Chains A and B, each alone.
Chain A
Amino acid sequence: MDFIYLVFSSFSLLADPVNFTYVILGFVIGTIFAAIPGLTATLAMALLLPLTYSLSVETALMACASIYMAGMCGGSITATTINIPGAPSSMMTALDGYPMQRQGKGALALGHAALGSMFGGAVGALLLIAVAPFVAELSLLVKTTGKFSLLAFALIVVVIAQRGRIPQAGLAACIGLMLATVGLDAMEPITRFTYGYSSLTAGIDLMPVIIGTFAIAEVMTQASARIDISAATEAVKKVKIRRRDFLPPLADIRKIGFGCYFKSCLIGYFVGTLPGAGGSMGSFLAYTETVRTSSEPETFGRGNPQGIAASESANNAVCGGAMVPMLTFGIPGDPITAIMLGVLVINGIQPGPQLMSDQAGLIAPMLAALLFSAVVLIPLTLWMIGPYFIKIVSVRKDVLYAVIALLAVVGSYVATYSTFQMFMALGMGVLAFYLRRNGFPVITMLLGYILGPNLEEFLRRSLALSNGDPTTFFTNPDSLFFVALTLVFVYFLVIRKPAQAPVAAKAD
């Protein structure tokens, strides 16, 4: 209860002009990046990561929370109006949103999307606020062997969740683990894989990895693909949106039903807690569940607002779910929570079981900002700038990517004032570009890199404690629990024939 009280009292921090400005700016930037096809909120956060050096941790985390929430709902704008989802998580929204647009109900579809996002974001954030302290207390029961099994579980699930390309995901995870082993060994004074470069002694910094993987690789991808958006730009010119049409009638909301909203939120939230699943998987599962239980399934895909509500409720509820493992165990569920973890790490804060008890004061404002973004900023942004937002699709791509490249390269200089980190970011960008180009999921590489040091340390500590006896992983109850959980996931995701995954879920 103390934590819940702390979160709600943290709303007062939003009254601070600096915090408020960053939360609003974060939300607007997140929405812009999510709405432009090809850009993502992950990229926005990667670019803003260097700037967190000059902000307080609370302010940086609050801005991250608002970008995250905006990133999940911003993609619905272009998905609905021009049938091009700005973000993969809005793929399912386009199925019913665009038909509504063609029927002249585009603004109403956006209103339903915003309502679903608002509901999903709020339920996800409230569940996170209620559940996270208990999970953190439970996580204190997990000892060294259990921690290794938990990290191994997270990494294995991220790999096997990439259905149809498990060897690629496995190799990408190995590359991430390789990167994590560079530098000074955690337990003995030995340097590894530095090849004589003293700059590598401290290991590969998180900042160039994130900037390279998400920003530089993205600029290279866009340069390579040269996506033609002239059709989208033309389509935008024909779209007319009026504010008064945004508000969904009460009869529509009643028809969708509270049960549909809430069930989709729960699906999104629980999908979010799984490493590597993400918003697109959450919205896909919620959408298919809504179609399956509907009395008129034939209306879906033809402009049924229930489809929009299910998809958007679920993908915004993912935000709350994905933060549970990140805050309680230090395991990020998706790229955005990986960057949030980076914000904590570069400020000297170690996520994990102790975080919620020892430094709850840093985490509570972030959760307050997440809830504020869902309940206030989603509807407010749509109301205030919704009619003009669609125009951002027409932004000049040459200028846009030049700005992204400049912010990325200079941003990687900020951490250490060293050009070595800039070269490192370029190297990581090239690596990530070729991984993506050859169908390797970059998220598994990132998780391998993030989880690698702890995975190795807990493995070695566990075996040192058991005098080298590997059966310790099966005789300790906490470890056995995660081993059993891993086997359950292997059964459902690999052995048992899986359900058809959405195309969007396969994208990074």
Chain B
Amino acid sequence: MLLNRQMVFLYVTLAVSVGYLITALSLGAPIADSGLTPAFFPTLVGAMAIVFCSILIVQALRAKPEQDTAPSSDEGGSYTHLWVVAAIFLYIVAFKPLGYFLSSSLFVFALILLFSTLEKLVIKAAIAVAIVAVAYVMFQQLFGVRLPTLWG
């Protein structure tokens, strides 16, 4: 199978490695005046990454069809991890504009819901607020970290 999950990952890694190598080569000649330039090491690393990627792609393509089609442990399963990424992304975006308390309470509440069910929402909201308050005391009061707040 040319486009299973692992192959997609390898193709993306290969593309990134090729992009990295091109950028490394654009830094100039790898060797100048019998010495190594800042381009040498990245060129070497980029080339090695492409070699390893190619080996893995060839290995995957040569793998027996039954190995390709065998379902992995979590194939077809949960995509909750993508929601976790989305929640963290939105949390970071809202962190300074909304302040620590509001953004963190919403984030923790969302995470609790992602790892559980849509039941007992009030209790879960209360737990989220309590966690955020305890974390605030820990960061701000105990360790002296200034966290953004709506009141400046």
Is A288 interfacial (CB 8 A cutoff)?
no
Q: When the two chains form their complex, are residues A193 and B23 in contact, meaning their CB atoms are under 8 A apart?
A: yes
Q: Are B45 and A174 in contact (CB under 8 A)?
A: yes
Chain B 97-127, CB-CB to A under 8 Å as 1, else 0, gives: 0001000100110011111100000001001
Contacts of A406 in B (CB 8 A): 104, 107-108, 111, 131-132, 135
Q: Give a binary string over A145-180; 1 marks a CB under 8 Å from any B CB, 0 the rest.
A: 000000000000000000000011011001101100
Are B13 and A403 in contact (CB-based, < 8 A)? Answer: no
Q: How many whole Å from B53's CB to the nearest CB in chain A?
A: 6
B38 touches A401 (CB 8 A): no
Is the CB–CB distance between B6 and A438 below 8 Å? yes
Contact status A417-B143, CB under 8 Å: no
Contact A190 B38 (CB under 8 A): yes
A221, CB-defined interface residue at 8 Å: yes
- Assess whether B70 is interfacial by the CB under 8 Å rule: no
Q: Which residues of B contact A185 (CB under 8 A)?
A: 38
A54 in contact with B145 (CB, 8 Å): yes
Residues of B within 8 A of A190 (CB): 27, 38
A174 with B84: in contact, given A54-B145, A223-B114, A422-B95 (CB under 8 Å)?
no
Whether A223 pairs with B92 at a CB distance below 8 angstroms is no
Among A167, A178, A224, the residue within 8 A (CB) of B46 is A178
Interface residues of A in 425-481 (CB under 8 A from B): 426, 429-430, 433-434, 437-438, 455-456, 459-460, 463-464, 467-468
Of the candidate stretches A37-45, A335-343, A407-415, the one touching chain B is A407-415
Return chain B residues, CB-CB under 8 Å to A405: 84, 87-88, 107-108, 111
The 8 A CB mask of B23-36 against A (1 = contact, 0 = none) is 11001000100111
The reply to whether the CB of B61 lies closer than 8 angstroms to some CB of chain A is: no
List chain B residues, Cβ under 8 A from A181. 41-42, 45
Is the Cβ of B48 less than 8 Å from the Cβ of A174?
yes
On chain B, the residues within 8 Å of A407 by CB distance are: 135
- Given A216-B88, A224-B80, A419-B95, answer yes or no on A167-B59 (Cβ-Cβ < 8 Å): yes
State the Cβ distance, A392 to closest chain B Cβ, in Å. Answer: 17
Q: Is the CB of A468 within 8 A of B48?
A: no
Q: How would you classify the secondary structure of chain B's contact residues: helix, strand, loop or mixed? A: helix
Chain B residue at minimum C-beta to C-beta distance from A195 = B23
- Give min CB distance, A371 to chain B, whole Å: 27
> Are the C-beta atoms of A402 and B108 separated by less than 8 Å?
yes
A225 within 8 A of B: yes
Residues of A within 8 A of B79 (CB): 224
Over the window 70-105 of chain B, the binary record of Cβ atoms lying under 8 Å from chain A Cβ atoms (1 yes, 0 no) is 000110011111011101110111011000100010
CB distance from B58 to the nearest CB of A (A): 10
Report whether A193 and B20 are in contact in the complex, using a CB–CB cutoff of 8 Å.
yes
The yes or no answer to B144 lying at the interface (CB within 8 A) is yes
- Cα of A423 to Cα of B66 in the assembled complex, Å: 39
28 A-B pairs with C-beta separation under 8 A: A167-B56, A168-B52, A170-B52, A174-B48, A174-B52, A178-B49, A181-B45, A188-B37, A188-B38, A192-B23, A193-B20, A219-B111, A224-B77, A224-B79, A403-B135, A405-B107, A407-B135, A409-B92, A410-B147, A414-B139, A419-B93, A429-B85, A434-B9, A438-B6, A438-B10, A459-B36, A464-B36, A468-B31
Told that A54-B143, A178-B45, A398-B112 touch, could you supply 6 new A-B pairs with CB distance under 8 A?
A181-B41, A188-B37, A190-B27, A223-B83, A402-B111, A468-B36
